[in-house]
């Protein structure tokens, strides 16, 4: 049983076609047929059944699917042994909504351990990052969604990352208390990653605000800079607010928005090296969160 056989099995299972699987894998159809036949010989059972032009998994094939996925995950993880021994490297991923100061605190924590290389992956949504940590492409991620139970991943809830409204320091709404969605009527709303699941929830709540103008920016830094320069009102998770802007903006809460669930989960691969680093990083993140409150 080898990696190409397992990948071929999962690809045929996905496309329900030998020919489409061959195209996806950039091999010939006879190659796909041969790999599946070899795998069936090893397992001593049929993995697929054909009814007319339709291909579907047998009962044995359904059971084997989870085994195949887990074996490939272990193969991917094992390929990193050489690098782990040679020089520790940790790959950390952030879903959208974290400030530079938040990330800097994390990097300080890693640097304090010493002799560790760090690679940061940002710009991916929570779903993509969870897939990457499961496949071993990143070691530790901060996301909105917790992975289902996995023997290879530790998942921990850290805290809520509530949504807040960010106003220019002299904006008329700074003195309004309490602030409501309807108070945003006629305002320019700044957003980052508006195609994300989080912003879909925000937009649903903003339906009751009338005549609003939209501006979408490339990152949190640009959003906060635009607010400070009185170009509009920002809606952002609390951990997205960089400390250096706190003297030039006003942070307000709207109950309707803070009620939107936006939790922070940390998820990391289970091995002795990563777990030691993860605990240090998690401590730094928690300290950063509560030192700013």
pLDDT tens-place string over residues 203-239:
999 999 999 999 999 888 899 999 999 999 999 998 8
Say which CATH number the domain at 95 has: 3.40.190.10
Instruction: Please tell me the total count of domains within the chain.
Output: 3
Q: 52: which 2 tokens?
A: 């007319």
Model pLDDT, residue 81: 59
Mark whether 266 and 240 lie in a shared domain: no
Model pLDDT, residue 258: 92
Write out pLDDT tens, residues 42-81.
989 899 988 777 888 989 889 898 888 888 877 776 666 5
Mark whether 167 and 236 lie in a shared domain: yes
Mark whether 136 and 270 lie in a shared domain: yes
Closest CA to 144 of 69, 195, 198: 198
Mark whether 61 and 105 lie in a shared domain: no
Say which CATH number the domain at 25 has: 1.10.10.10
Closest CA to 123 of 148, 95, 100: 95
Which of 62, 78, 94 terminates a domain? The answer is 78
Write out pLDDT tens, residues 259-278.
998 888 888 887 767 777 77
Indicate the average pLDDT of the chain.
Answer: 84
Neighbours of 105 (CB within 10 A): 19
Mark whether 248 and 187 lie in a shared domain: yes
Which of 49, 78, 107 terminates a domain? The answer is 78
Mark whether 275 and 150 lie in a shared domain: yes
Mark whether 252 and 271 lie in a shared domain: no
Mark whether 74 and 197 lie in a shared domain: no
Q: Which domain holds residue 179?
A: 163-258
Which of 59, 78, 97 terminates a domain? The answer is 78
Mark whether 145 and 277 lie in a shared domain: yes
Closest CA to 281 of 139, 184, 162: 139
Q: 30: which 2 tokens?
A: 């006879």
Mark whether 9 and 64 lie in a shared domain: yes
């Amino acid at each position: 049983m080898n990696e190409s056989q397992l990948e071929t099995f999962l690809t045929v299972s996905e496309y329900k076609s030998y020919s489409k699987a061959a195209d996806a894998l950039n091999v010939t159809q006879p190659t796909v047929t041969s790999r599946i036949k070899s795998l069936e010989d090893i397992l001593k059972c049929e993995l697929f059944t054909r009814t007319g032009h339709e291909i579907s998994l047998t009962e044995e094939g359904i059971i084997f699917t989870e085994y195949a996925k887990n074996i490939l995950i272990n193969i991917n993880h094992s390929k990193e042994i050489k690098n782990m021994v040679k020089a520790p490297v940790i790959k950390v991923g952030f879903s959208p909504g974290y400030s530079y100061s938040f990330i800097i605190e994390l990097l300080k924590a890693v640097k304090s351990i010493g002799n560790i290389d760090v690679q940061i992956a940002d710009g991916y949504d929570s779903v993509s990052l969870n897939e990457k940590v499961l496949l071993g492409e990143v070691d530790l991620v901060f996301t909105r969604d917790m992975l289902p139970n996995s023997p290879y991943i530790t998942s921990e809830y850290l805290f809520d990352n509530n949504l807040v409204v960010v106003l220019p320091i002299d904006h008329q709404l700074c003195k309004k208390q309490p602030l409501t969605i309807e108070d945003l009527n006629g305002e320019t709303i700044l957003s980052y990653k508006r195609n994300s699941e989080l912003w879909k929830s925000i937009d649903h709540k903003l339906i009751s605000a009338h005549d609003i103008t939209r501006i979408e920016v490339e990152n949190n830094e640009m959003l906060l800079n635009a607010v400070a320069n009185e170009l509009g009102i920002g809606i952002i998770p609390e951990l997205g607010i960089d400390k250096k802007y706190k003297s030039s903006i006003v942070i307000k809460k709207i109950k309707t928005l803070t009620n939107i669930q936006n939790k922070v989960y940390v998820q990391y691969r289970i091995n002795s090296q990563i777990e030691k680093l993860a605990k240090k990083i998690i401590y730094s993140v928690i300290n950063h969160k509560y030192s700013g409150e």
